[in-house]
Amino acid sequence: MAKYKVLSTKKLDPLLIEQAKRNDIEIIEHEFISVKPVTGKEKWDEVFNYIQQQAYIVFTSANAVEAIKKYLHPYINYNVIDWKIFCLSGKTKETIEAGADLSGSVIDTADNAVDLANKIVNSGIKELIFFCGDKRRDELPAILKAAEIDVHEVVVYKTVETPIVIKEDYDAVLFFSPSAVNSFFSVNQLKEDSVCFAIGQTTADAIGDYTQNKIIVNKTPAQREMLESVSFYFGGSM
């Protein structure tokens, strides 16, 4: 039996799970949200309008990238999509660069939405397309609109909370989005010495609305760095 038991509120890379085991950390995974792409002719027409443009694009979620890839897949073989892309580092950037379904150049990245928004403002562009989910955070579009940048928001996926009652105690819980935080705490409480690990500051802020437990915030939005923080906290290394 592992010395430490950790709950992850989303599925993780199996290799990271195995690495954690070698550090005497058992990770139990439960999905506290589900993501559903928005489909239908009306949405296709909206997305298709932007596919044909040489545009600036911003992604703050790997889920948005995956949703857009579903639209692009039947179209990409016949057309070159020359997008200039701003995105978060970590999983979002990795998803953009995986495979050939999404072409274009990543011209800048940041570790959080506020820093990314400021980089976009400093780039001097006046218009961009923001592919996002129905529960996207306000920080990025608010900063862009305050700088008089024309932001076209296109909702390409919906987030559904799927809360699960947790009957065991955990030494730590991993949170990867404010929606997962809301879902978890809607039916659960933490024991006082459980540590919360947050993928970024907005997720950490959401955790702070529910608990006074210790919160450790990831420096970059990536699963590997999250697990490295967990391992370091409990005295191991990845």
pLDDT of residue 48: 81
227 and 114 within one domain: no
pLDDT of residue 222: 87
- For residue 238, tell me if it sits in a domain: no
CA distance linking residue 77 with residue 14, whole number of Å: 32
Domain boundary among 120, 144, 159: 159
Query: What is the β-pairing status of strands 195-198 and 127-133?
Result: unpaired
- For residue 178, tell me if it sits in a domain: yes
**Looking at per-residue confidence, does 67 or 197 come out higher?**
197
pLDDT of residue 98: 85
- For residue 55, tell me if it sits in a domain: yes
Q: Residue 105 is part of a domain; what is its CATH number?
A: 3.40.50.10090
pLDDT of residue 46: 87
DSSP E strand boundaries for 49-149:
56-59, 84-88, 105-110, 127-133
Q: Is the pLDDT of residue 237 over 70?
A: no
pLDDT of residue 127: 95
67 and 151 within one domain: yes
pLDDT of residue 2: 84
217 and 141 within one domain: no
pLDDT of residue 43: 86
126 and 41 within one domain: yes
172 and 142 within one domain: no
184 and 130 within one domain: no
- For residue 25, tell me if it sits in a domain: yes
Domain boundary among 159, 175, 208: 159
- For residue 221, tell me if it sits in a domain: yes
115 and 48 within one domain: yes
153 and 43 within one domain: yes
Q: What angle do CA 61, 52, 109 make, to 5 degrees?
A: 30
Least confident window among 93-97, 139-143, 181-185 = 93-97
155 and 41 within one domain: yes
106 and 69 within one domain: yes
pLDDT of residue 238: 54
Least confident window among 68-82, 107-121, 174-188, 193-207 = 68-82
- Tokens 């792409």, located at residue: 37
- Tokens 């940041």, located at residue: 110
pLDDT of residue 75: 53
Average pLDDT over residues 32-52: 86
| Number of domains present in the structure of the chain | 2
139 and 60 within one domain: yes
- For residue 42, tell me if it sits in a domain: yes
- For residue 133, tell me if it sits in a domain: yes
Share the mean pLDDT of the chain. 90
Domain boundary among 159, 182, 200: 159
199 and 175 within one domain: yes
Q: Tokens standing for 176?
A: 């990867």
User: In the chain, what percentage of residues exceed pLDDT 70?
Assistant: 92
CA distances from 155 to 62, 63, 125, 126, 218 (A): 13, 11, 22, 20, 27
pLDDT of residue 73: 65
Average pLDDT over residues 99-120: 86
What confidence tens digit (pLDDT) does each residue in 21-40 have?
Answer: 999 999 999 999 999 999 88
Provide the domain limits for residue 221.
Answer: 4-32+162-233
pLDDT of residue 36: 93
